[in-house]
Chains A and B, each alone.
Chain A
């Protein structure tokens, strides 16, 4: 009897495994077929453009090269972006309401907290990631094992925001004092003789702990780029400064920092833009609860979960408007930088 049961179970397992593999096989097949079709279509178009009558061949060849990308960008990015701007000026019934959605964003108390949180993120993440990244790059510069040191801090860059969020949720896990802690940070608090803290759930400081996840990810990026920049500072200049009696600290501020200014601007602006759009971390850590929501998260919720596309569109436009001046500043500094060198 028992063996029959075991047999049945084993049979089920095999059927299940079979199902998994057949499903997976057909999905992988779909992927391969899609790639094959893509290659075939590109090849065919290339062949046709190549063998077109001589008269229009140049135009056809040009179209073959640029048209696919331009069509996709036009239909999939430019046109949708224009539509989103339109939607942001209407209500969900499609009537034109001017800037009412934006007024809502800046006056409704929950929305205000979303904007406030976004500003805190935008100030703190670039500041902390860049300073820690720069300090680390300087610390390990020309040291033994520099590559290993770099890889360790750079690694979080490869992990998804979702994965990183779970890693940190585990670090932040809270248990009441009577129970053994399983979150490392609360264990540290206990070792220090303090009470465990609800890192994620207790506002207002929980936003800071969410922010640290982003800092953890972005520091590696800052470090890699600034490290490359530091290596570009000519040794003669540093030597001249130390002959003038400048100590390491003074040399750092008066020689290194001005020299790598261009890279610093790129790092800060890039991280700022990435931070403005951050969505996965808040969603995975708290789902926007406990007063931690930010614009990108709110945009998704309004547009796709709550069925309020107008407010969602207005939040997307707001993101765009916040990104815009940063990019313009970035381009201007880079141009000056190019002219100076």
Chain B
């Protein structure tokens, strides 16, 4: 699938510099540039407005729009301080939820990727009976919407012998399960492309499967694992549905998205709360995005079906 999505760019250097090409490009480019700028503005402005507003005092926020900031100057960190650290029944307490998001997302990335990499290795390099139809089955599971699994899975978590609902463990396990089909599929695509000679050479040296996995497959598949890890981390960090069903909703386990959703219901028009709260929840994805954009794009190009 990845091959079809991301054809190798074949860039002709000659064409752009030919005289006719240049003239044509200039003729069409004025409209193109205008269009591009309009779209880019429309796509950036909302986030920008929210960002500016999150630093404005509450009184300014409710009396004027953020676009008047220059004539209506006001700047404060109070909104952030309030949503992060104030305690009290109605305060956002996002500090705790931020930690919860971290505690959910990091194992929620490590667990499924490890298990997926192991399974992908087996499907690629350990010949066994039924291997190919099992792999097709795993591949096909990508189309099952996670809504199909929520109610029974919650029931399983509530069983007395397991009893992990409303805990981090429940959220981790759920995210692990839901990430496996796509993870196995994408990593299998990557691992099965490792040249035969490399694997054979290790095998001749007497490496068994676990040694092969640790010393050959794992290091070679790191680029794919990294892309997928970023993707999975963002997916888990941004998830609302799994959290709502499995976290129990309390301050002990629930992630930022869930708290933000609650605030949208209870304090949706207190913009000094909502602007800062929204920004607290999107800051980590934004940092990840801007630092690791290249890997993020690569991951996206490799696999676009998820959930």
Interface residues, chain A, with chain B CB atoms under 8 Å away: 16-17, 20, 23-24, 27-28, 30-31, 34-35, 38, 42, 46, 49-50, 57, 61-62, 64-66, 68-70, 72-73, 75-81, 83-85, 87, 132, 135-136, 138-140, 142-143, 149, 151-163, 165-171, 173, 180-184, 187, 216, 219-221, 224-225, 228-229, 231-232, 234-236, 238-239, 242, 248, 262-263, 266-267, 270, 273-274, 276-277, 279-280, 283-284, 287, 296, 299-300, 303-304, 309, 312-313, 315-317, 319-320, 323-324, 327, 334, 337-338
CB-CB under 8 A from B176, the residues of chain A are: 72
B301 touches A187 (CB 8 A): no
Query: Beyond A65-B122, A68-B115, A155-B289, is A77–B141 a contact (Cβ under 8 Å)?
Result: yes
B240 touches A283 (CB 8 A): yes
B177 touches A20 (CB 8 A): no
In angstroms, how far is the closest chain B Cβ from the Cβ of A37?
Answer: 10
Verify if B268 is at the interface (C-beta below 8 Å from A).
yes
Rounded to whole angstroms, the CA-CA distance of A200 and B28 in the bound complex is: 38
Rounded to whole angstroms, the CA-CA distance of A64 and B115 in the bound complex is: 10
Verify if B87 is at the interface (C-beta below 8 Å from A).
yes
Verify if B147 is at the interface (C-beta below 8 Å from A).
yes
A229 touches B7 (CB 8 A): yes
CB-CB under 8 A from B307, the residues of chain A are: 273-274, 277
B9 touches A69 (CB 8 A): no
Query: Beyond A66-B119, A69-B115, is A35–B240 a contact (Cβ under 8 Å)?
Result: no
Between-chain CB contacts (< 8 Å), 25 pairs: A28-B102, A31-B168, A35-B106, A75-B156, A80-B151, A84-B152, A85-B148, A87-B151, A135-B39, A136-B39, A159-B285, A159-B286, A162-B240, A162-B281, A163-B238, A168-B46, A170-B275, A171-B49, A180-B65, A182-B271, A221-B304, A229-B6, A231-B10, A323-B145, A337-B4
A163 touches B278 (CB 8 A): yes
**Which single residue of chain B is at the shortest CB-CB distance from A73?**
B180
Could you say which of A66, A140, A228 has the most chain B C-beta atoms within 10 Å of its C-beta?
A: A66
CB-CB under 8 A from A42, the residues of chain B are: 114
Query: Beyond A156-B43, A180-B64, is A142–B16 a contact (Cβ under 8 Å)?
Result: yes
Verify if B76 is at the interface (C-beta below 8 Å from A).
no
Q: How many residues of B contact A (CB 8 A)?
A: 131
Rounded to whole angstroms, the CA-CA distance of A139 and B180 in the bound complex is: 37
CB-CB under 8 A from B1, the residues of chain A are: 266, 334
Rounded to whole angstroms, the CA-CA distance of A242 and B27 in the bound complex is: 14
B147 touches A167 (CB 8 A): no
Rounded to whole angstroms, the CA-CA distance of A69 and B114 in the bound complex is: 10
In angstroms, how far is the closest chain A Cβ from the Cβ of B252?
Answer: 8
**Which single residue of chain B is at the shortest CB-CB distance from A281?**
B240
CB-CB under 8 A from B173, the residues of chain A are: 72, 76
B87 touches A16 (CB 8 A): yes
B240 in complex: contacting residue of A72, A167, A280, A316, CB < 8 Å? A280
